[in-house]
A and B are shown apart, each in its own frame.
Chain A
Amino acid sequence: MTSPSSNDPWLNRVPVQNQDVAWRMVDEECIIIVPETSQATVLNPVGARLWELSDGKRTVGQIVLALVDEYDVDPKVAEDDARDFMEQLAKRGLLSLTSL
């Protein structure tokens, strides 16, 4: 399976979780606490899966493909959602998006 926007350089970026973030999966959701702000937040099941896959080894493109493989979702929808989601996480300092 190929992502519809596979030439997009953004898909080659590698999301890396902030190592200072404490997180725990509960059922299919993920609870996160950031030390700097002492902020707690919940990721819903799809968000939690994206978080788990953001292991510093996979590119965004590979993560989107995994999402499409696991969920009943259109590849373009998954790509757009993953982009919005990871940008939110990056803005909150929960992960960084590094280049290959």
Chain B
Amino acid sequence: MNNYGQIPVVGGGAETGSQPLSPAPPFEPDFQHLLEFEEGPHQVVVALGGIPFLVRSNDAGVVGFFTSEYGPFQTEATPWVTLDLRRSAKFPFATDIARFLTARRGTVQHAKFRNMAATVDLKRAAARGWVTGDNLRQDLSNVLRFVVGSVTPSLGALLFHTAALAHDGRAYLFFGPSTAGKSTVVKLSEDREVMTDDMLIVREDQGRVVASTCGFWGGETRCYPSRRAEYPIAGFFRLVKDRTNRLIPMDASRGAFEIACNVPAVTRTSVENQAVLEVAARAAAATPSWFLHFHNRDASFWRCLDDLA
């Protein structure tokens, strides 16, 4: 006979309530042009979060961006995903894109935002993006975030919204909602290697759960050019601003929930959401998760983390 303990609840109070995954509003894609353009002659292969992408473009500047900003990410590996990019002075389709919009048609994802539009055919692992305007870094970064966020679940990986610092060959992932303190933790950790202040990829590699950079930055830390780094994960740390530093362990279910809640939302099928849950659950089972209550005045919270090691 099991202890009934708690009444059955959805969520479970302030600490275990349901959390939104930032759903994007739907829109009607008008991307025929995006599906029809020819593959460009310029190309490069880059491994984003350990996933090799073949990037092709009509524009030498686009590929130039990858060979410079993503120089450390270049690889000889066989590509898993193709990404065809077109750049032009303006879009050949309607744009009303103050907000990040996504739509789903079968196995194809669509998105547009500011000066970028993109589609991802998940069945073919093939993506297309169109950028315009002068801020190539911003627009290509938006394309990449969408494409990487779309393809990762089916590849057994997660794009994870987190700050990450490396220490003694392991990655410490600090995450939480906006204003939780991700950028603050990065700023307070000057003597540690900053992997990202925004997003990286969490995936399994030969039985380990690793954090692998994909060159995404939130903008506050300005750690350009991108760094390529991959480390086993020491722990997932959900940030809570407090007057004192302390660690409170999470059980595996709470850890998996917190991880799943910090995977940026794109429109997913139940199969893809299931893949998100599977990776999150395996990551939480293999790696400890904690609430890190920290004082945001100095780096003294690292003493708690060093004690773990």
**Chain A interface residues toward B at CB < 8 A:** 19-24, 26-31, 33, 35, 37-47, 49-50, 70-73, 77-78, 81-82, 84-85, 88-89, 92, 94
Contacts and interface: CB of A to CB of B under 8 A. Distances in A.
A31 B260 contact: yes
A22 B12 contact: no
Contact of B8 (A35, A40, A81, A92): A81
B68 interface: no
A33 B3 contact: no
Given A33-B277, A42-B257, A70 B270 contact: no
A45 B268 CA distance: 27
B251 interface: yes
Given A26-B253, A35-B269, A72-B4, A41 B10 contact: yes
A49 B6 CA distance: 12
B10 A71 contact: no
A39 B19 contact: yes
Interface stretch (B20-28, B80-88, B134-142): B20-28
Contacts of B260: 31, 33, 40
Classify chain B: how many residues form its interface, as a range: 35 or more
B268 A35 contact: yes
B7 A31 contact: no
B274 interface: yes
A23 B277 contact: yes
Given A22-B274, A81-B7, A38 B252 contact: no
B107 interface: no
A71 B2 CA distance: 5
A31 B10 contact: no
A21 B19 contact: no
Nearest to A36: B23
Nearest to B24: A38
18 contacts: A23-B277, A24-B256, A24-B278, A26-B252, A35-B273, A38-B265, A38-B267, A38-B268, A40-B18, A40-B19, A40-B257, A41-B17, A42-B12, A50-B8, A77-B4, A78-B4, A85-B8, A88-B10
A42 B17 CA distance: 7
B21 A21 contact: no
B9 interface: yes
Nearest to B19: A40
A33 B22 CA distance: 12
Given A22-B274, A33-B273, A38-B20, A46 B257 contact: no
B5 A45 contact: yes
B274 to A, nearest CB: 4
A71 B12 contact: no
Interface in B252-292: 252-254, 256-257, 260-261, 265, 267-271, 273-274, 276-278, 280-281, 284-285
Given A31-B277, A38-B21, A44-B8, A19 B270 contact: yes
B78 interface: no
Nearest to A94: B10
